[in-house]
Structure 1
Amino acid sequence: MINLPILKNEAERLSALYVLEILDTNEEVEFDNIVKLACIIAHSPIGTITFIDEDRIWYKSKMGVTYKETPRNEPKHKEFPFYVAIPIIVYGDLIIGHLSVASYQPLSLTAEQNEGLALLSQQIIALLQMRLPIMNSSIKEFYESILNNIPSDIVVFDSDHKYLFANPGAIKNEEFRKFIIGKDDFEYAAYRNRDPIIALERREQFLEVKKRGKTIGWEESQLDPDGNRLTYLRRMFPVHDEHGEFIMAIGFGIDITDRKLLEEKQSRIMEQLSMQNTQLLDFCNIVSHNLRGPLINMSMLVEFIQETEDIEEQRLLVTKLEPVIENLKNTFNELVESIQIRQNTDIQSDKLLLTVCLQETLDGLHMEIKKARAKIDVNFEEAPSVIYPHKYLSSIFYNLVSNAIKYQSPERQLTLKLASRKEQGNIVVTVQDNGLGIDMLKHKDSIFKIGKIFHRHPDAKGLGLFMTKTQVEAMGGRIWVESIPDQGAKFSVEFVNQNVT
């Protein structure tokens, strides 16, 4: 909030004010337009041009307030949480009035907005000086001089949506600025060889302003010559003559690309923080569940080792301690990896042959497959390869195949069918078994949750499917399952944005 400055040289100030013969004059469209533009620049609902008489503050032009004058010793600006007053100064240091903007909500102005308001106050001074005989410069040249120095986009349209004026903020190239005068956006789009969709949208905005007679605002996105997406916040307000007839529209725009990018970045950060918080809770739960048992075993074994004096018994207990420690280490590493997956945004993707990556998994599970006498059928002919991180694909195959072995039915020989297919630029890999299956009605909302176990097994930790889902979603894909209890399960993994053959 900026308070009104203390006025000096009161006699000289009042003399200068009276010479201008501005007090108690009728409304003038030039002053009204300045107030409207000031409100647009500041994004404020209230704007005024006031002159300070001997004992009153008189309102030459106003927007958002109804009073015509107020006592000088009772300024209205104290009513507002946000108030900015730009002094109207003549003869070097005589303050005769103010261009003000205000709001019922706290606001803040950027350096560009402050500069724009300062330029408008100079415009008021120039209008006042034009009342004197020595001032005979044209209003048009004056307006252009002011508007050309405002850093924001400013354009003026006639009643038929033809350009009357465009400042350098709107069109930097002087050749293009000259071309567009007297033409509309469709002609300009054709001249610049641009998509006419923006011209169509701007025509709709103009017609709405003309029809409703009210200011409207919108966001507009477009590509610059380098292909970068730019976003603008635009406003357009109507100008009417003394008879209320629509004569022109003024468009105002500011580049909010950086703000939009910051908002998107903040949104991604919030999403990541939310995910990390969820993972932290899951991590705590699984740690308490999966690590408590091994730690208790270790504690008991250490206690037994300390109590016995028999060397052979101590050696035997030490051998039992080693697998517990190894199991604890593996569980901890899996937990840490599951937490880190989504944070690993620069992981390298390569073109991978599905058969080669699957064979690596089968080689690593050779003994388990042999023991289960599993029959494995593979058909990757339709989509033989994917672009994906090798580490993730190997982990996905390992978790799905090892789970099929782990939860095979004791009533029949294990069969595994793996296949791939193309779907609208994506590739879907399926892994189907004839094992114990999953009760989807009971577990449909918790299939991939951390620590979720569907069947009793000594090696079950509830991490495999959680890890797989995390890896798939980290690369923008998805995973789902179809299953019937005791009839097996079919897992499908979708790899997105695949332009491989």
Structure 2
Amino acid sequence: MQDIDDIKRIRIDTAIKEEQFRQTFEHATIGMALVGLDGSWLKVNEGLNTFLGYSNEEFYKLTFQDITHPDDLNKDLQLLEELVANKRKNYQMEKRYVKKNGQIVWAHLSVSLVRDDKDKPIHFVSQVQDISENKKLSETMLDQNRRLLNFAYIVSHNLGSHTGNLTMLLDLMVTENESLKNDEYFSHLLTASTNLTETVMHLNEVVKINIQSLDNLEPLNLQQYILNAISHIQASITSTNANITNTVSEDIYVAAFPAYLESIILNFLTNAIKYRSPERTPQIKISAKVKNEQVIISIEDNGIGIDLDRYGTKLFGMYKTFHNNKDSRGIGLFITKNQVEALGGKIEVKSELQKGSEFKIFLKKSKKVEPQTEPTPNN
């Protein structure tokens, strides 16, 4: 009796699940379909009919290959092969379909494979969500960003010429009349000119960051760049009695632009010294570890810290300062964050007031490129 009851219960559970799937399939607002192993449409819901404009009868005379944009077909087929070969459980991709009226539309496709009790593939279950409007919006934003970037480049270039001329004219005025050095208004004019020049330099830096291509990243030895940065700020280290502990292994390489990596490390080290606590000797610890094809660089200090509850969302903003240090400009972290993100990385920060801060920089791992040996000439 127990076995019969178990069988009945399994049948009832199966019937409930099948009904739930049927209801979900038929009433889903997104497109759903059962697709044969050869790409034929076995069953489609109303959501897919509405999205692509084909009736059920028209779908059943086609395969998904027939209405997939040619540029997206190979990737789709490759992922299907991996699914059938049990190399993956499911996959998602953005692809283009050809509607009945010939219009090209974008969709987010999610596919899973149904197998029988012997693990033999039966059919695919596809979910198709219309993302055409999102794509149009993204393309519009990208176009606007390109226009803004081009505008910023032109402005920074032209302003650079004007500020250079202004600085030169002010220098000439002082050369011809040294008494101007004591003139209060002229002093304010010099300060304004210097600040304008710095602003243009910062704008140039931001523009340079945004036009770099990730295709040109180089394998760089992290330890060597840290040692170079430490040597560059040796005077500051000596004058503040700072102690820097560097435990980064010599065999860690990151994918980066040389100028960016140098700038990133220098900025964090100089900040650790600049925002030191007057109550204790500056202690700076630099370490790195490799995890999931990423290099995580940690730079930790015992400085005055940052109130993240108050300033956390503004920490990497342009011209945002959080201490009364006379050298603060509010540009360093902004540029550093943009440089790290331009390298495909990210920054995380932990900080506590009067205890110190820890910045973690995530960059892509790279392999050391061995120098090619010259072929030995034949004797």
CA contact (8 A) 2:35 2:43 kept: no
Deviates more, 1:337-346 or 1:470-479: 337-346
Q: What is the alpha-carbon distance in structure 2 between the residues aligned to residue 209 and residue 456 of structure 1?
A: 63
Q: Which residue identity lines up with residue 440 of structure 1 in the other structure? A: L
Q: Which residue identity lines up with residue 390 of structure 1 in the other structure? A: P
CA deviations on 1:141-182 (whole Å, 9 max, x unpaired) are xxxxxxxxxxxxxxxxxxxxxxxxxxxxxxxxxxxxxxxxxx
Unaligned runs of 5+ in 2: 1-33, 50-54, 80-92, 109-131, 156-162, 369-379
1:42-441 to 2 correspondences below 5 Å: 199-200=36-37, 202=39, 205-208=41-44, 214=56, 220=68, 221-223=72-74, 231=95, 233=97, 256=104, 267-268=138-139, 270-271=141-142, 273-274=144-145, 313-314=179-180, 328-345=196-213, 348-381=216-249, 384-441=252-309
How far does residue 345 in structure 1 lie from its aligned partner after superposition?
2.5
How far does residue 400 in structure 1 lie from its aligned partner after superposition?
0.7
Distance 1:398 1:305, change over 3 A: same
How far does residue 474 in structure 1 lie from its aligned partner after superposition?
1.5
How far does residue 253 in structure 1 lie from its aligned partner after superposition?
10
CA deviations on 1:253-308 (whole Å, 9 max, x unpaired) are 97959999x99697356146359759989xx9xxxxxxxxx9xxx9xx99x969xx
How far does residue 489 in structure 1 lie from its aligned partner after superposition?
0.7
Structure with the larger helix share = 2
Q: What is the alpha-carbon distance in structure 2 between the residues aligned to residue 452 and residue 201 of structure 1?
A: 59
CA deviations on 1:445-497 (whole Å, 9 max, x unpaired) are 1111111101012221100100011111122211121101111111111113x
In the other structure, the counterpart of 2:84 is: none
> What is the TM-score normalised by the length of structure 1?
0.44
Q: What is the alpha-carbon distance in structure 2 between the residues aligned to residue 256 and residue 426 of structure 1?
A: 38
Q: What is the alpha-carbon distance in structure 2 between the residues aligned to residue 230 and residue 462 of structure 1?
A: 39
CA contact (8 A) 2:223 2:249 kept: no
Which structure has more RCO (C-alpha within 8 Å, separation ≥ 6)?
A: 2
Distance 1:225 1:280, change over 3 A: closer
Q: 2:310 aligns with which of 406, 421, 442?
A: 442
Q: What is the alpha-carbon distance in structure 2 between the residues aligned to residue 349 and residue 422 of structure 1?
A: 18
Superposition CA RMSD, Å: 5.1
CA contact (8 A) 2:253 2:366 kept: no
How far does residue 223 in structure 1 lie from its aligned partner after superposition?
0.9
Distance 1:278 1:389, change over 3 A: closer
Q: Which residue identity lines up with residue 223 of structure 1 in the other structure? A: N
Matched residue pairs, number? Answer: 272
Q: What is the alpha-carbon distance in structure 2 between the residues aligned to residue 276 and residue 433 of structure 1?
A: 41
Q: What is the alpha-carbon distance in structure 1 between the residues aligned to residue 273 and residue 209 of structure 2?
A: 25
In the other structure, the counterpart of 1:482 is: 350
Distance 1:338 1:224, change over 3 A: closer
How far does residue 388 in structure 1 lie from its aligned partner after superposition?
1.0
How far does residue 376 in structure 1 lie from its aligned partner after superposition?
0.4
CA contact (8 A) 1:232 1:255 kept: no
In the other structure, the counterpart of 1:465 is: 333
Secondary structure of residue in 2 paired with 1:445: helix
Q: Which residue identity lines up with residue 73 of structure 2 in the other structure? A: Q
How far does residue 230 in structure 1 lie from its aligned partner after superposition?
10
Q: Which has more radius of gyration?
A: 1
Q: What is the alpha-carbon distance in structure 1 between the residues aligned to residue 98 and residue 203 of structure 2?
A: 49
Q: What is the alpha-carbon distance in structure 2 between the residues aligned to residue 422 and residue 470 of structure 1?
A: 22
Q: Which residue identity lines up with residue 206 of structure 1 in the other structure? A: L
Q: What is the alpha-carbon distance in structure 2 between the residues aligned to residue 276 and residue 495 of structure 1?
A: 29
Distance 1:234 1:331, change over 3 A: closer
Q: 1:451 and 2:324 equivalent?
A: no
Unaligned runs of 5+ in 1: 1-196, 236-251, 285-293
Q: What is the alpha-carbon distance in structure 1 between the residues aligned to residue 223 and residue 217 of structure 2?
A: 17
Distance 1:474 1:198, change over 3 A: farther
